[in-house]
Structure 1
Amino acid sequence: MIGAAPDPGAPLPSWMAGCWIEDRAPRWTEECWTIPRAGSMLGSNRAGNGDRLTMWEAMQILPDPDGRPVFWASPRGAPRSAFPMASAKEGEIAFANPAHDYPQRIRYWREGELLKAEVSLADGSKPMRWSFRRMK
């Protein structure tokens, strides 16, 4: 068994599920998340410039032994880094790992039909932001 069942008080962010795109031609970023199932969500991200792939990442959201969601990131196949949930409210979730170099905070939220994402240092400085619309 990979982990304990999630605590009902810390649900996985089902509102992130689906495939999303930010297109700022010629640059683009795509991110896909599975629906929560068996206490997990699996994600993938790829970004490019025109026909050239510039970045890719495998991601997971899994519960820790206490049932709190943890965001696991593996950019370009690097060893996974853990970002425990720092806060959550309806339509928003943030994960943080102050010991990580960059990013230290990963935040997702919904604004209507858009999925917003931000990575930054723990204090919110040096942010990078995305505004995704659902892929057709």
Structure 2
Amino acid sequence: MLLLLASLTLDARQPDLGWLAGHWCTEPKNGTVICDSWAPMDKGVMHGKNISRTGGTVRTNETMTITVDELGMVFHAEPANQAPGDFRMATFDPAARSVTFEERSHDYPQRVRYRREGEKLLAEISMLDGSKAVRWTFHRTLE
């Protein structure tokens, strides 16, 4: 019985982010393409990578994970040449296929948001009040 309750509690803290899995790239802008790749959730961990390329040369590289702990989901980002950051899930809307992670103490960004619209993945980083927003529209691609 306790095992069943523990399993139900874990499931409540681990929303289905299957819609995020895949390889996503922006349209080229000034010769630069940005791609996010997310592996399906496996044993409570979802691995992601963000790479920005200009003319085939990697400009930026970031590793990301989404994990589950006793309080819910955590988005962990490790941008190249920057301090890593942890953002706790603030909202999840399964109908809208949207998830938002926040961390008030982080300098920038304080909010990371993903939303799926058909074969597009919309991503946004901003301050908690929505200021300094930067948005990307990714399209599903083959790797």
* TM-score, reference length from structure 2: 0.85
Cα offset, 1:9, TM superposition: 1.7
Gaps of 5+ in 2: 1-5
Moved runs in structure 1, 4+ residues, more than 4 A? none
1:73–1:80 Cα contact (<8 Å) kept: yes
Partner of 2:110: 104
Separation in 1 of the partners of 2:104 and 2:46? 23
2:15 corresponds to 1:7: no
1:108–1:117 Cα contact (<8 Å) kept: yes
Separation in 1 of the partners of 2:110 and 2:83? 16
Partner of 1:22: 26
Q: When the two structures are aligned, how many residues end up with a matched partner? A: 132
Partner of 1:51: 56
Cα offset, 1:7, TM superposition: 2.2
Task: Output the aligned Cα RMSD.
Answer: 1.8
Partner of 1:65: 70
Which of the pair has more CA radius of gyration?
2
Separation in 2 of the partners of 1:127 and 1:48? 22
Of Structure 1 and Structure 2, which has the larger fraction of its residues in helix?
2
Cα offset, 1:133, TM superposition: 0.6
Partner of 1:40: 45
Identity %: 36
Amino acid at match of 1:97: E
